[in-house]
Amino acid sequence: MATTKASNDSTVDATQVLRPPAEVLHADELASLAKADNQPRPPGWQLSPKAVRSFICGSKAPKIARKFYGDDVLVERAIVGLAGNRGLLLVGEPGTAKSMLSELLAAAISGCSTNTIQGSSGTTEDQIKYSWNYALLLAEGPSPRALVPGPLHVGMSVGQIVRFEEVTRCPPEIQDVLIGILSEKLMMVPELHGDGRVLLAKPGFNIIATANIRDRGVHEMSSALKRRFNFETVHPIGELAQEVNLVSEQCQRLLDESSAKVAVGREVIEVLVTAFHDLREGVTADGVQVEKPATVMSTAEAVSVALQASLDAYYYGDGTLSSEHIGRHLVGAVIKDNPDDLKKLKHYFDVVVRQRSKDQGGPWADLGKARKWLR
């Protein structure tokens, strides 16, 4: 695979890194979209809103694979809001692809998804705005050369999307920094004199933030900041068949990346996704009530169980994924820090899996064999 420019100043060879950013991984698709794109582009955008949508939701001509499964209207609203220069805040349960969506949007709009702030309680103002090279600062005083730009400074100077992950984990004073920047589109650098003192954002600059509703914090966001963002809630995938397709595709891609050849049958993935749906909803498709575990049964977790179970089959088995492998790894996904979840999972096996294994046999019977691992 060719090397691709992943950011303003770096070139990445996709074969030499563990996880290439979206603009590198999908460089060919972005190039063909740009070539075919004759629609109007907002100032500073690399693609038109139509082409950005095709990059995320897929298209036939040019042939682009769907990457985000679910609400296409949500994707359109998110793109239109960004085109109108409003910030975008993606909120939702863990593992609903908020970060993935923000990465895809940044890759398509700015050609760079790596200008990212990872929000935490320890995030400081100089980490997100700018800091100083202290050797140069001591030698020549504050100068543009001594300034070390942070993600917001970079995004504003080059006209690029800044991704702000888990924004509500940051202390309020850090969230407040965004208020001025989002409304005035300028950043003061009081230490500098002359032109460098006021940084005016170039067209193309915007902020896409994500926040997880299970973590404390969303409600602590100030109303002034809330007003500057378009909120979009990302929900888990509702349709079973769609989630089966997604888990199968992503598991296969991750196995290819690990050079592991595993036979992954669709019926096994169906069992996995059905179990996730049952536990997430608290009721099966046949109306049997099950207890919902406290753990989030997200699609991201389902992909990770499918991958781990497949690697188990590859390294310790005969290279064919069975539901028993799935069962062994389900334990790790469901039981995290709440001991009651073990009881709930056992109950699911005793009531739902046992019955399906009697009625349907096959992969459900194989899953039943994993009951012994629930300790």
Ligand X SMILES: Nc1ncnc2c1ncn2[C@@H]1O[C@H](COP(=O)(O)OP(=O)(O)OP(=O)(O)O)[C@@H](O)[C@H]1O
End-to-end Cα, the chain, rounded Å: 45
**Rounded Cα distance, 227 and 86, in Å:** 9
Alpha helices in the chain (DSSP H): 22-25, 27-36, 49-57, 72-83, 98-110, 125-128, 134-140, 151-158, 172-184, 223-228, 240-257, 266-281, 299-316, 323-334, 340-348, 354-360, 362-368
Site of tokens 């193309």: 204
Q: Which does 25 bind (CB under 5 to 8 A by kind): Mg ion, ligand X, none?
A: none
Q: Is 237 in the site for ligand X (CB under 6 A)?
A: yes
| Number of residues lying near ligand X (CB under 6 A) | 19
Q: Is 168 in the site for Mg ion (CB under 5 A)?
A: no
Q: Is 99 in the site for Mg ion (CB under 5 A)?
A: yes
> Least distance to ligand X from the beta carbon of 102, Å?
8
Q: Is 298 in the site for Mg ion (CB under 5 A)?
A: no
Q: Is 208 in the site for ligand X (CB under 6 A)?
A: no
- Omega of the bond leading into 236 within 30 degrees of 0 (cis): no
> Least distance to Mg ion from the beta carbon of 97, Å?
8
- Choose the binding region for Mg ion from 65-73, 80-88, 97-105, 267-275 (rule: CB under 5 A): 97-105
- Choose the binding region for ligand X from 1-9, 98-106, 129-137, 366-374 (rule: CB under 6 A): 98-106
**Rounded Cα distance, 106 and 163, in Å:** 8
Q: Is 100 in the site for ligand X (CB under 6 A)?
A: yes
Kindly state the tokens that stand for 89.
């805040």
- Choose the binding region for ligand X from 8-16, 93-101, 191-199, 347-355 (rule: CB under 6 A): 93-101
Site of tokens 């790596």: 114
Write the binding mask 41 to 80 for ligand X: x where contact by CB under 6 A, - elsewhere: ---------------------------xxx----------
Taking CB under 6 A as the criterion, the residue among 74, 177, 300, 365 binding ligand X is 300
8: left (phi over 0), alpha (psi -120 to 50) or beta: alpha
Which residue's Cβ has the minimum distance to Mg ion? Answer: 99
Sign of the four-CA dihedral 261, 262, 265, 268: negative
AA identity, residue 194: G
Which residue's CB is nearer to ligand X, number 20 or number 95?
A: 95
> Least distance to ligand X from the beta carbon of 96, Å?
4
Sign of the four-CA dihedral 248, 252, 253, 255: positive
- Please, is 336 exposed, middle or buried when counting C-beta atoms within 10 Å of its C-beta (0-12, 13-18, 19+)? exposed
> Least distance to Mg ion from the beta carbon of 217, Å?
14
> Least distance to Mg ion from the beta carbon of 90, Å?
9
Q: Is 246 in the site for ligand X (CB under 6 A)?
A: yes
Identify the helix (H) or strand (E) that includes residue 163: strand 161-165
| Span 140-179, contacts to ligand X by CB under 6 A | none
Beta bridge partners of 283: 289
Q: Is 310 in the site for ligand X (CB under 6 A)?
A: no
> Least distance to ligand X from the beta carbon of 260, Å?
17
Q: Is 98 in the site for ligand X (CB under 6 A)?
A: yes
Q: Which does 94 bind (CB under 5 to 8 A by kind): Mg ion, ligand X, none?
A: ligand X
Q: Is 12 in the site for ligand X (CB under 6 A)?
A: no
> SS3 of 259, please?
coil
> Least distance to ligand X from the beta carbon of 104, Å?
9
CA-closest candidate to residue 202, choices 162, 145, 146, 142: 162
The pair phi, psi for residue 91, each rounded to 5°, is -115, 155
> Least distance to ligand X from the beta carbon of 374, Å?
25
Using CB under 6 A as the criterion, which residues of the chain lie in contact with ligand X when the complex forms? 68-70, 92, 94-100, 210, 212, 237, 246, 250, 299-300, 303
